[in-house]
Structure 1
Amino acid sequence: MEQTQLLFSIIIPTYNRPEQLTNCLNSLTRLDYPRDRFEVIVVDDGSTTPLESVVAPFYKELNFTLLKQTNAGPASARNTGSARAQGKFLVFTDDDCVPAPDWLTTLATRFTTAPDIMVGGKTLNALPNNLYSTASQLLIDYLYTYYNTDSGQPKFFTSNNLALPTDHFHALGGFDTTFPLAAGEDREFCDRWLYQGYKMIYAPEVQVHHAHNLTLPKFWRQHFNYGRGAFCFHTRRSQRTDKRIKVEPLPFYLNLLTYSLSHNSKQLRILVTVLFLLSQVANVAGFFWERFSSSPPY
């Protein structure tokens, strides 16, 4: 009997978050998609606590593989998982995400009509009572609004809800593992994807819930790291296009503040706007820290 070809390979990097990983994997057991059409590959990026007991129940529930590597960051972990993938399409998410039951079904519909595209789905905040998590997700929502307003050609998707043809991913060499942190490598990959003439499409019906539990220090560190990643991204793009580093224009920041004022109650609007401003201060600080640090130039 001929074996059914895998359509999807779900790649999940993880590092020291066993509880979140368990929630993510449990959600994959509830997908309304044939189990013989997808596989799940978790890449342990050097966690200090062994994951064998955490993932053991899922070998019976899913077509499951656990890979291990020395800590090298999520970009490297995604590439490691992709190298073992057997599916026609790679689907990336993170260990703190919970995909909707129809996640793969909606992706399959998109790829049926356009098999050569990159699909970016919608990420929803799973922690609405956490102000910092709410502000962080609203910032991502703004970036999607800003960069993806042209429905014919979006420009940026995050790697926690992203799918694309496996052969195209390998042709581009995967994610750039020289990025120092989990920040900016997805943006760089999208830019490189477009530079090679491939297409992207935003699919808001392809949904995951993101449970990124933030505090004020974690919020600052997150956006400081985004600034570091932004410097690396702009440097990489400058090298690729032979043009000077060019950051976002003034309207980007003005629209950002307007966006923060258009959500939630009056009190929350004020608090979110303050966090938006703080995020940009952290972003600029990270950008110039990376620019003037002693790390190797990009």
Structure 2
Amino acid sequence: MLTVIMASRNGAGWLKETLDAFAALHPPEGGWKLVVVDNGSTDRTSAVVRGFQQRLPLTALHQARPGKNAALNLALEEAEGDLVVFTDDDVLPDPDWLLQLRQAAADFPDTGVFGGRIDPCWPRPPARWITDLVPLGLVYSLTVEREDGPCDPQWIWGPNMMVRSALLEGGHRFDEEVGPDGTMAYRMGSETTFTKELAAQGARCRHVARARVRHMIRPFQMKRSWILGRAFRAGRGYWEPEPERVAILGVPRHILREVGEAAGRWAVARLRGNARERFRAAWDLNFWRGVLHEAWINRARPKRRADASRPGARDRTALSAGPD
């Protein structure tokens, strides 16, 4: 048996489409169960989940405290079987999704963490500036046709990931200080934190391209303001303690320099009237604003998250957002 876990906060508008796709899945050998956690929703999420009780091997839970990772950790208490699959409430899996993940686990018994393919499901064709300028992996958790094979843990993302249950028996759980928390300014990188810690303990990671889901992208997620908000949240996730750096008011000087330089580039692009340059500069500015924000609120706690295995420490394109 394997267990599939997802959390949903105010997802009633798209959750039914996701659960309809889950109801069409081919069951893997040994069977499966689905655990859905309503993470303090104020819409009809719980009612949507209850409507699938007869169509899916479903366990419904409720976590009142906002925070996707708190919801996932609660769901892990209900996990059964040798494999745990994590996903989101806005994905459309191929019918053979679980079959492919189960086969990958059998084919590579020395691998403990698996990531599947994540393709976009656009509500309308994206504008050229999105496809040309936006880092689609970071913003929409897309795998961009990555090939099968071993991979870095930072390339395994929340909409489509699987872990052997044996790796969780020691109590390994998601960091509840990271990831979606009911606000628009959370720190990204929650699944990456989770997978990098497993890799640091010796777990091997692999990308399984044939295990595919499509990630639903809502119209508001194609707006410039939302995309730049992702840059800010990614910057928060990118920050790490740097006690060796020269600091000004507790903030490493190089961060202040990056913010200033990005602001200068944005101002120049605005004067030139170059929309593409202005977006690139605005992305960098919002990213470094996020780094600055995190450095500032942690200036009195320089040893916090000092573990060298922290995700994305030097690769800002690898952090998940995951939408998370």
- What TM-score do you get using the length of structure 2 for normalisation? 0.70
> Which shows bigger deviation, 28-37 or 222-231?
28-37
Tell me which of 194, 202, 207 is aligned to 1:197. Answer: 202
The answer to whether 1:226 aligns with 2:234 is yes
> Which shows bigger deviation, 118-127 or 106-115?
106-115
Output the CA distance in 2 between the equivalents of 1:160 and 1:219: 18
Q: Classify the secondary structure of the residue corresponding to 1:84.
A: coil
Match of 1:258 in 2: none
Shift of 1:271: 8.2
Once the two structures are superposed, the pairs formed by residues 34-183 of structure 1 within 5 Å of their partners are: 34=28, 37-115=31-109, 116-127=111-122, 129-131=125-127, 135=134, 137-139=136-138, 151-156=149-154, 157-171=156-170, 173-179=172-178, 181=186, 183=188
Output the CA distance in 2 between the equivalents of 1:108 and 1:119: 10
Match of 1:31 in 2: 25
Closer/same/farther in 2, CA of residues 177 and 111 from structure 1, 3 Å limit:
same
Q: Classify the secondary structure of the residue corresponding to 1:179.
A: coil
Closer/same/farther in 2, CA of residues 206 and 66 from structure 1, 3 Å limit:
same
Output the CA distance in 2 between the equivalents of 1:138 and 1:160: 12
- What TM-score do you get using the length of structure 1 for normalisation? 0.75
> Which shows bigger deviation, 169-178 or 200-209?
169-178
CA contact (8 A) 1:227 1:285 kept: yes
Shift of 1:295: 8.9
Output the CA distance in 2 between the equivalents of 1:273 and 1:101: 42
Match of 1:207 in 2: 212
Output the CA distance in 1 between the equivalents of 2:52 and 2:30: 14
CA contact (8 A) 1:106 1:205 kept: yes
Match of 2:311 in 1: none
> Which shows bigger deviation, 149-158 or 206-215?
149-158
Q: How many residues align?
A: 258
Deviations 1:244-269 (A, max 9, x none): x9x9xxxxxxxxxxxxxxxxxxxxxx
Shift of 1:66: 1.1
CA contact (8 A) 2:117 2:160 kept: yes
RMSD: 3.3
Closer/same/farther in 2, CA of residues 42 and 294 from structure 1, 3 Å limit:
same
Shift of 1:200: 0.2
Q: Runs of 4 or more off by more than 6 Å in structure 1?
A: 140-143, 270-274
Output the CA distance in 2 between the equivalents of 1:142 and 1:66: 26
Tell me which of 292, 296, 304 is aligned to 1:292. Answer: 296
Gaps of 5+ in 1: 1-6, 239-244, 248-269
Shift of 1:34: 4.9
Seq. identity, %: 22
Closer/same/farther in 2, CA of residues 152 and 136 from structure 1, 3 Å limit:
closer
CA contact (8 A) 2:116 2:160 kept: yes
The answer to whether 1:188 aligns with 2:188 is no
Deviations 1:200-259 (A, max 9, x none): 00111111111122122211112211211222xx449x9xxxxxx9x9xxxxxxxxxxxx
